[in-house]
């Protein structure tokens, strides 16, 4: 967790305490929900980042020659909203696979579409047709789940096999 995220958690806890002290249970409930959602978001973003980093580590132990770059303070656009989060870039020669993931942090950043909690993009340098837009939403069981957004509007759950497929494009020669 970054210093900014830690400061945000402290500020949320203090605001919740003040809201309860002022008898504003509605605001306290909202802030509790926000804190829980932020934990879900961070966990889901970390899972996605760890999955790709682990694949790169496995490949590197076999001589893959993949460079791993991380940026903890990254922002990107999704529609008219600004997502704030992390970027992971895996490079192998001229090929690059990048993952940017985050969510709006301030009201001016906008919002995540629908019932989404966070957004992510998987980008393949030089292969735009292989790119993927992801949405973090709650499954029917209430658990967070990454969904792949198709251009047709369909949403399908992201699987580890999907992540491996994106990673294999980084390793592909042509």
Residue 15, pLDDT above cutoff 80: no
Average pLDDT of the chain is 87
Task: Give the mean pLDDT of 144-155.
Answer: 92
Listed by start position, the domains of the chain span 44-171
SS3 call for 44: helix
pLDDT score, position 100: 98
| Sign, CA torsion 118/88/55/150 | positive
Q: Which of 57, 69, 93, 68 is nearest to 171 (CA)?
A: 93
145-163: burial string, b at 16+ Cβ within 10 Å, e else:
bbbbbeeeeebeebeeebb
Say what the alpha-carbon torsion angle 136, 140, 143, 146 is, to the nearest 10 degrees.
-30
Percent of the chain with pLDDT over 90: 59
SS3 call for 84: strand
The pLDDT-based confidence of 4 (bands split at 50, 70, 90) is low
Structure tokens at 93: 């020669």
One DSSP character per residue, 20-63 reads HHTT-HHHHHHHHHHHHHHHHHHHHHHHHHHHHHHHHHHHHHTT
DSSP-assigned letter for residue 126: T
Is residue 34 exposed (0-12), middle (13-18) or buried (19+ Cβ within 10 Å)?
middle
Run of H or E residues at 112: none
pLDDT tens digit string along 40-93?
889 999 999 999 999 999 999 999 999 999 999 899 999 899 999 999 999 999
Run of H or E residues at 117: none
């Amino acid at each position: 967790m970054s210093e900014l995220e830690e400061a945000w958690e402290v500020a949320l806890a203090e605001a919740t305490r003040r809201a309860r002290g002022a008898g504003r249970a509605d605001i306290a409930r909202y802030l509790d929900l926000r804190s829980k959602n932020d934990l879900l978001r961070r966990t889901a973003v970390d899972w996605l980042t760890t999955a790709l980093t682990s694949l790169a580590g496995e490949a590197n132990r076999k001589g893959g020659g993949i460079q791993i770059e991380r940026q903890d303070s990254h922002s990107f656009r999704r529609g008219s909203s600004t997502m704030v989060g992390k970027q992971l870039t895996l490079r192998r020669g001229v090929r690059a696979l990048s993952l940017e993931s985050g969510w709006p942090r301030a009201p001016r950043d906008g919002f995540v579409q629908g019932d989404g909690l966070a957004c992510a993009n998987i980008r393949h340098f030089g292969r735009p047709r292989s790119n993927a837009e992801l949405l973090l939403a709650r499954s029917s069981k209430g658990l967070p789940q990454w969904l792949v957004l198709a251009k047709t509007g369909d949403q399908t759950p992201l699987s580890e096999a999907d992540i491996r497929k994106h990673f294999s494009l980084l390793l592909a020669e042509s």
